[in-house]
Amino acid sequence: MTPSASTASTVSNQQVSPRAGGKPVIAVVGLSNRPERASYDVAAYMQAAGYRIVAVNPMYAGQTILGEHCHATLQEANAALAQEGLRISIVDCFRKSSDIPPVVDDAIAIGAECVWMQLEIFHDEAAAKARAAGLKVIMDKCIKIEHRMGNFLGVL
């Protein structure tokens, strides 16, 4: 499936509400503990840029990645953040396109404000569901690249 022109990722200039240090909390779904993986590199960059990163990957649940406790699910991660008075704003997806629908369901369930699908990741039906639930949706774009370019797409 290729992204259609209408879903390829245009977002309004509405801001995602800041949650930590004036910036949104980013849950990285599929974050690897291996530095050579794109998910690790992108998360490390965003963390260095001052964003709070939350690791979500059932394979590494209970471990520490980039100094953060890794959670098995978005719900678990959001519950842990709630104890700090925070919540997940952006769900950054490092999963194959076919795995996106349940991630979107979870993002809706926790009250996330944005679902961000990395390069070459898109799912029109899941995106439509997220938008219908009031979430901003960005597909087929790298959050690190967009941040470096200063193109925050109304969410960073």
Q: What is the pLDDT of residues 73-124, one digit of tens each?
A: 999 999 999 998 899 999 999 999 999 999 999 999 999 999 999 999 999 9
Question: Does residue 19 fall inside a structural domain?
Answer: no
Question: Does residue 96 fall inside a structural domain?
Answer: yes
Question: Does residue 7 fall inside a structural domain?
Answer: no
Q: Would you place residue 21 in the very low, low, confident or very high pLDDT band (cuts 50, 70, 90)?
A: low
Beta strand extents in the chain (DSSP E only): 26-29, 53-56, 64-65, 68-71, 90-93, 114-117, 136-138
Q: Would you place residue 151 in the very low, low, confident or very high pLDDT band (cuts 50, 70, 90)?
A: confident
Question: Does residue 6 fall inside a structural domain?
Answer: no
CATH of the domain at 64: 3.40.50.720
Question: Does residue 33 fall inside a structural domain?
Answer: yes
Tell me the C-alpha distance between 1 and 54, whole Å: 29
- The total number of structural domains in the chain stands at 1
Question: Does residue 70 fall inside a structural domain?
Answer: yes
Tell me the C-alpha distance between 131 and 116, whole Å: 12
Q: Would you place residue 12 in the very low, low, confident or very high pLDDT band (cuts 50, 70, 90)?
A: very low
Question: Does residue 12 fall inside a structural domain?
Answer: no
Nearest by Cα to 16 from 122, 141, 152: 152
Question: Does residue 4 fall inside a structural domain?
Answer: no
Tell me the C-alpha distance between 27 and 3, whole Å: 23
Q: Structural domain of residue 72, as residue ranges?
A: 26-149
Q: What is the mean pLDDT of the chain?
A: 88
